[in-house]
Amino acid sequence: MMTGQTEDAASGLPVRRAQVENLYVEAMVLADEAHAAFAAQRDLGSVRGDALLQVSLACESLKTTTRLMHIIAWLLHRRAMIAGDPYAGPNDSAARIGEPVIADWDICARFEEPLRRIVANSERLFERIAKLEAGWQSPAAPPPVHALLARLEARF
């Protein structure tokens, strides 16, 4: 019989905890960068006399912020689940990252490089979280040694 700590190690909990913590730090840093960059550029449209660009900047700022908030909410929920919070379960709506909020790259192409980089990084981070979630939901593949043992047992 396994102890609680051994079960956690077998289920990958320490690895998941480390992944969640690292991703949380990354998401918070990116959220700070996004806030600063979009705030610095919010008058871009009026400076160039381009009201459409100003509105586009506001829309993409909201999309990026929403994307990052979904990521952060997912990570916070995972932290709570890992900590054993009885109110944070795998069937909660916050346990799913959901559908991505896609940037309009025709509009983003008109932004300065730092803004484009932040938008792209937020989309990549969302994709990484979605892949991580999908991997955690799928049953773990048995180690190759199990297949070898099964073949040996079948021969005897």
CA distance 29 to 31: 5
Structure tokens, 134: 């999908």
CA distance 7 to 13: 9
Q: Is residue 132 part of a domain?
A: yes
Count of the separate structural domains present in the chain: 1
Q: Is residue 110 part of a domain?
A: yes
Structure tokens, 75: 């990570």
Q: Which of 20, 25, 62, 47 is nearest to 112 (CA)?
A: 47
pLDDT tens track for 54-94: 888 999 999 999 999 999 999 999 999 999 999 998 888 88
User: What's the CATH number where 119 sits?
Assistant: 1.10.8.930
What pTM did the predictor assign? Answer: 0.77
CA distance 117 to 111: 10
Q: Is residue 114 part of a domain?
A: yes
CA distance 136 to 11: 10
pLDDT tens track for 22-63: 999 999 999 999 999 998 887 655 556 778 888 889 999 999
Q: Is residue 1 part of a domain?
A: no
